[in-house]
Structure 1
Amino acid sequence: MPKATFLNLNAAKKEKISQVLLEEFSTYSLLDANVNHIVKAAGIARGSFYTYFTDLDDAYRYTLSQVMATIHEGFVGDNPFQATRSFIDQVEQNPYYAFLSNYYVVDEAILAAHHQETSSTNWDKATADLPQWLADVAVHHLIREYFLAPTDKEQILSLLDALAGWHKQEA
């Protein structure tokens, strides 16, 4: 995540850099993104970039967290399958579409390979509320499947409809 120097920037400069990062990672995969592009577009020195972020992966993770926080704001209600269906149905118009496509098709695997992360599963939550945990896992998997195979959109939407019916029965 960003260093304190980035977090303490004035809002306008932080927003400018965040927008440049989003544009870079929407245009290029993590393998092809370039710090030189970022510093030039943001109007900052290369050294400043490294006072804000440890490396390109760090800047990417910050951008990913911002995108995911914004997207999750739209997932309200009791039925995650219906919210996911709406999201996938309209995703081509989403301003984060290119970023998400890069993430699911390329960058997710790169991040995992770079960091050999441990599981992010909260096993206590999974055990305490199994139907909700299963719903969360299913919708995230189906969103990933959409980006890997957009031509399967109708099958994914149909599966979400079936899961929505299952979820309603479980509630």
Structure 2
Amino acid sequence: MSSQITIRKVEKKDSKHIISLMKKLSVQTQYMLREFDEINENALEQEKRFESMMGDPKLLYLVAADKAAVVGLLIASSSKLARISHVGDLIVGVDKNYWGTGVGSKLMTELLKWAESTELKRLSLEVVEENIRAIKLYEKYGFKIEGKKIADHFIGNNTYLNTLVMGKILDHKIVKVK
């Protein structure tokens, strides 16, 4: 399956496919943030959002495509605030049908290539503690667990999950850490 996968930057034409993927992910796993009914279904709004993102050198929006279908995504963005503008925050999602096929690895490889070409000095993400597959992927690419948020992720039926904070320092770019 993964040999057919291409990783590329998001395009306006992807809006309907990304909406479909986000809806699919909301049902396939409890690890994503949005519930099914919280996903914006307006393709035109998505297209405008993509357009506004495309010119930002400190923002990366990748899709993993299998022919016309979008089966994975990765978004890395940083703040405009000077004191935290060196940090890229990540969101990653992969269709469950493509877990274990290398899609996540391909997205992470492209992320790290991009990060090397930016002013970013740190990458950061949050992941539900039970999402062992994702944690192993992130660790494979040098991310370390830096902390834990207790009862941070509500999944219904009075059940809460912990969230891990993970980060990766882009070593050669850090001059001094106190």
* TM-score normalised by the chain length of structure 2: 0.29
Whose strand proportion is higher, 1 or 2? 2
Whose helix proportion is higher, 1 or 2? 1
